[in-house]
Chains A and B, each alone.
Chain A
Amino acid sequence: MSSQDGGGGLNLGALSPDQLKQVADQLAQESQRLTESFEGLQSAINKYNRSASTLKKFKDESEGKEMLVPLTSSMYVRGSLEETSKILVDIGTGYYVEKSVEGGTDFCERKVVLLKEHLQKVVDALQQKQQQEQQVRTALAQKQAQAAA
């Protein structure tokens, strides 16, 4: 944010209470957005972690194993595993790639690492925003106290 590199501390004193409130609310909104993306990333990480551990178990399954095949989320039919060495991976935007089970596991694990990096960035940004908001709110409270006195 510009308030940080523009010597925000100095600026804050020059702003009117209304302006301060506006800035604080804006910062709160940004925090909210960051929190949402934090949650999104967290659930994506869980998803890929789950997929990776499932794939590790899947590797040991044998071809021809009897199973209930889920054709839709609410319908199953008896069938057997046909291929346990290759799987299809949804890589997003409607594209699927055939990979070996190891390749799929690797893909999921790399995704987790990548997402965790993103997550860390979001966490850092979130902390910064919250700190800034705190500063602005303190300045606002001071102004109001001055005005009341």
Chain B
Amino acid sequence: MSSTSMSVDNPGGASSGASSSKMEAEYIEDVAAYIARFPKGTEEALQTMQSTYQQYKLLESRLTQSRQRLMMKVPDVERTLACVKKLVQRKDEGSDTHVDFELTDGIFAKAKVSAENAQKVFLWLGANVALEYTAEEAVELLTKNLETAKLNLDTNRKDALFVKDCITTTEVSMARVYNYDVQQRKQKAMETKE
């Protein structure tokens, strides 16, 4: 059985907007001036950029992972929410619910949930903890979780776009610094020849 977590205030592992301003990749207006910032010149500049680039890549893969987790989580919470709502409905009608539950992989057995029992549900919170909630509380919690998950997914999407931009900018910058260096060397070689 999968242990999909639905913790109360787990932000879903997304770095919620934290990456915004302080991480933004810098666009180099003037390559010569940029290189001049590094005491050891081009090599140090390229090294620095390479390490920033790797950080961005790491961030990107983390974002992809948490995105996959959220994509799994959202439909799961939606299903659970629909289930609880159905139970509440049955409870209000005062009728028992007959269900086929998954006994093991691919095998289903029949069970009865009385209207009285439908008042309380147990939600799996993750980390081997399940809690009992009244149906109303469960609806509230799940709705909140669903909202949080969707919000996180949105933040995640924005963050991913941002990181993607940074990656492109850094790639372009690295190429420009490198090309500038090649050009400089060529020029120097020409001068010494003359």
Give complex CA distance A63, B122 in Å.
Answer: 22
> Known contacts being A71-B83, A72-B83, is A82 close to B76, with CB within 8 Å?
no
> Number of B interface residues, CB 8 Å?
39
> Known contacts being A75-B121, A76-B130, is A88 close to B6, with CB within 8 Å?
no
The 8 A CB mask of B115-155 against A (1 = contact, 0 = none) is 00110111110000010000000100000000000000000
Determine whether the beta carbon of A82 is less than 8 Å from that of B83.
no
The 8 A CB mask of B67-87 against A (1 = contact, 0 = none) is 000000000100110011001
| Chain A residues within an 8 Å CB radius of B106 | 47, 51, 89-90
Give complex CA distance A102, B109 in Å.
Answer: 13
Determine whether the beta carbon of B107 is less than 8 Å from that of A89.
yes
B92 smallest CB distance to A (angstroms): 15
**Total A-B Cβ pairs within 8 A:** 114
> Known contacts being A74-B123, A75-B83, A77-B121, is A82 close to B110, with CB within 8 Å?
yes
User: B residues within 8 Å of A by Cβ?
Assistant: 1-6, 76, 79-80, 83-84, 87, 97-114, 117-118, 120-124, 130, 138
Contacts A/B (CB < 8 Å), 10 sampled:
A54-B107, A70-B1, A72-B76, A73-B2, A75-B83, A75-B123, A78-B117, A79-B111, A80-B111, A88-B100
